Amino acid sequence: MFFNPVRTSGQPPVIDPSGDALFLDFDGTLIEMADHPDLVTVESELIAHLGELQRACSGALALVSGRRIVDLDRFLAPLRFSAAGVHGLEQRLEPEGASEPICGPEMLDEARESIRAAIAAVPGLNFEDKGTALVLHYRTAPELDETAKRIMRDAIAGRDDLVVMDGKRVIEVHPAGMDKGRAVAALMQRPPFAGRRPVFIGDDLTDEHALAFVREQGGVSIKVGIAQTCAEFRLEDVAAVRRWLGLRT
């Protein structure tokens, strides 16, 4: 997936609200990471500014996150956005529309039982069941990296309909065939996104599919942080993202 970028530093181009479609990751991009996913802080100023951007772009702003859409709504209330949750396994094409899962949670039942049994004797692993995805967090116990990966690999042994995906001190099992790039591609087929220049910004390995798709489409691909990437541009951290979006920090 990775290739040598033409440009990996310097300020990305200024957003054009009349012609751009904005696709924004959440954790590590709009907000700082936390030791537990429920402990993040979303300031009222950020929520208000996202609402202003949504209106300026005539609704062409979507959140593309590993989180469930219902959790994004909870953090960003009272606002709602078009969204792809759980890396595209949930989709909401319109802000006031319904969230549609790509698959049901039952296909993960065997893996779910395997993971629960395996982590019972491993303090430091935090299990999150998203319904359509199963996640192990180990931000407070990085030494458990290989243990977490082994547990997840074992949970889907012999299955070609499930995949393991790595992130920053997190590892996830979910159905094969969907990622953030495909989620962005689906949104770009519909108004108000269709016909606009796609802009995606994200910080994690899980964002690379979307960064690659946007770059292939001639859009603006922005990596947050210093990790290897296929993105054309970089921003240093969450504070830099907010400044680029026009929010005073």
Residue 4: pLDDT band (50, 70, 90) is very low
Q: Which residue has the higher pLDDT, 105 or 212?
A: 212
Cβ burial, residue 84 (10 Å; 0-12/13-18/19+) = buried
Render pLDDT for 125-184 as a digit per residue (tens, 0 to 9): 999 998 889 999 998 899 999 999 999 999 999 998 999 988 888 899 998 888 999 999
Residue 213: pLDDT band (50, 70, 90) is very high
Averaged pLDDT for residues 19-29: 97
Domain with CATH 3.40.50.1000 in the chain: 20-102+178-244
Cβ burial, residue 113 (10 Å; 0-12/13-18/19+) = exposed
Render pLDDT for 99-116 as a digit per residue (tens, 0 to 9): 988 888 899 999 999 999
Domain with CATH 3.30.70.1020 in the chain: 105-175
Cβ burial, residue 132 (10 Å; 0-12/13-18/19+) = buried
Three-class DSSP category at 3? coil
Q: Does 8 score more than 80 pLDDT?
A: no
Fold of the domain spanning 105-175:
Alpha-Beta Plaits (3.30.70)
Active site residue ranges: 25
Averaged pLDDT for residues 33-38: 81
CATH number for 20-102+178-244 (one of 1.10.1740.10, 2.60.40.420, 3.40.50.1000, 3.40.190.10): it is: 3.40.50.1000
pTM of the model: 0.83
Which one-letter DSSP state was computed for residue 149?
H
- Looking at residue 118, its pLDDT comes to 95
